[in-house]
Structure 1
Amino acid sequence: MMTNTTTTTTGAEAAGGELIQFPHSGLRVPHTRLTASRLEQSETSRGVAFTATLLMDGTPVASIENRGCGGATWATFVDRKAYGEREFDEFVQACRDAAGEPVSDEQVLQDLVTEHQYSAWLRELARRGRTIVRWMVRGHDGDGKPVGDPFPMQERSCRLYPGEAWRQALADGLVKHASGDHGWWELWNGERWERLPAPRTAAAQD
């Protein structure tokens, strides 16, 4: 599958030393002037390869690439005098994940691509009155304790309607699509990700 999407974002600066949290990846950043755009994806035998463009204040400063073979995501900067590895490393050092932990440059690149990808998809769906639901899980250590930030195992689109009754019916209908028992569905309600209620038992639905 090949997709090609482009977006332009006007950046914001965090105030008072606070970080700005991206809505889709959970990445916390000192400003939103650094974004991803022009995403292209292609399936490989071992995953999904992609390329994208890294923008600073809307100006391309690097290419982002992952070859889809289980390896790293990296950036190649086009003009290090204007914006290069040093400036990007300073940005990464100021970033934190959703739990407040430091992040790697690779995670920052991947999360910037994730933000662009979700934003583009949601804009297209909103024109048709639709949104995204996603099945969220967490990794576990050897003792079965959850570790790391939650991440989506799958995403689906659906119609968006108001009201708790519709949300409950949606949760009930998604049971058969869940990837295992240890996770939850959440819905983009137009402003934020909202956790859906627990599905009712078959007896409760009768």
Structure 2
Amino acid sequence: MPQQDPDPHRAEHLDTTASNDHPADTPPTRQTPSGHPLRHSPLHLPHDRLAVTSLDERDGDHYVAFTATLCLDGTPVGEIRNEGDGAATRLRCHDPARFTERDMHEFVRDCRYRRQPTDEETVLDRLVAEYDLDTRLATLTPNSTMARTVDIDGDYCGDIVTVETDDLDRLDQPTGRAGLAIYLATATTSPCCRGWQIWRHDTWHRVAPLIR
């Protein structure tokens, strides 16, 4: 006589586990965080409590050097530095009671850059860029906007051009965009540049390149 299953729901439970692609003896993997998207880069954060609140730039040996303040809930917890010599961007935590290197590693682990896991330098650089671009946008006059260079994946390259016009709405029209493309074609750009974007209506829009 067949033995009765002591748990009549066990088979159903195993079927459910299998349907979720988790073997019975393997713990479930972490779910990909939906995150908080940044406005100016394809980076999603696990929360919005970490942010850069100040930025000081200077000329480095090869690139722009910078020092930025990283805050947790508005309180400074670290300093982000890049010496502009080709070395990596680094974080120095100065309030271990509130935020440590381990906390940063856990934060980075849950970040997604272009929907993929990323590294600490990528996260730090994008947090700095987010503050930098927000600050620049906040200082624009009513008759101006901003264009930026982007790489092949649509991420910010570091080149900025302020665009002033008596009619910003004209930039939403094909003729206005064509004139803008002609103007931007004369600007000096970084080697990673693969195109331009214009800030309109609280988001970035692609500027179609000139057809030569």
Calculate the TM-score normalised by the size of structure 2: 0.73
SS at match of 1:177: coil
Tell me whether 1:152 sits opposite 2:162 in the alignment.
no
Q: Which has the higher strand share?
A: 1
The one-letter code sitting in structure 1 at the alignment partner of 2:101 is E
How far did residue 178 of structure 1 move? 6.8
The one-letter code sitting in structure 2 at the alignment partner of 1:122 is L
1:111 corresponds in structure 2 to: 126
Q: Deviations over 1:164-199 (max 9, x none)?
A: 13222212332333758x822210114111012343
1:29 corresponds in structure 2 to: 45
- The 2-side partners of 1:60 and 1:105 are apart by 18
Counterparts of 1:126-145 in structure 2, within 5 Å, are 127-138=141-152
Structure 1 unaligned blocks of 5 or more: 1-15, 139-147, 202-206
Which one of 49, 65, 86 corresponds to residue 65 of structure 2? 49
Identity %: 30
The one-letter code sitting in structure 1 at the alignment partner of 2:127 is L
1:101 corresponds in structure 2 to: 116
The one-letter code sitting in structure 2 at the alignment partner of 1:185 is W
**Contact 2:34-2:44 at 8 Å conserved across structures:** no
1:195 corresponds in structure 2 to: 206
- The 2-side partners of 1:153 and 1:80 are apart by 32
Calculate the TM-score normalised by the size of structure 1: 0.75
2:197 corresponds in structure 1 to: 186
> How many residues get paired?
174
Which one of 16, 40, 44 corresponds to residue 56 of structure 2? 40
RMSD: 2.3
**Contact 1:47-1:68 at 8 Å conserved across structures:** yes
SS at match of 2:107: helix
2:97 corresponds in structure 1 to: 81
2:180 corresponds in structure 1 to: 170
Shift of the 171–189 alpha-carbon distance from structure 1 to 2, 3 Å rule, reads same
Which stretch shifts more, 36-45 or 190-199?
Answer: 190-199
How far did residue 128 of structure 1 move? 4.3
- The 1-side partners of 2:33 and 2:186 are apart by 44
- The 2-side partners of 1:90 and 1:153 are apart by 28
How far did residue 137 of structure 1 move? 2.6
- The 1-side partners of 2:98 and 2:158 are apart by 38
SS at match of 2:53: strand
**Contact 2:148-2:156 at 8 Å conserved across structures:** no
Which one of 138, 141, 165 corresponds to residue 123 of structure 1? 138
Structure 2 unaligned blocks of 5 or more: 1-31
**Contact 1:54-1:63 at 8 Å conserved across structures:** yes
Larger radius of gyration: 2
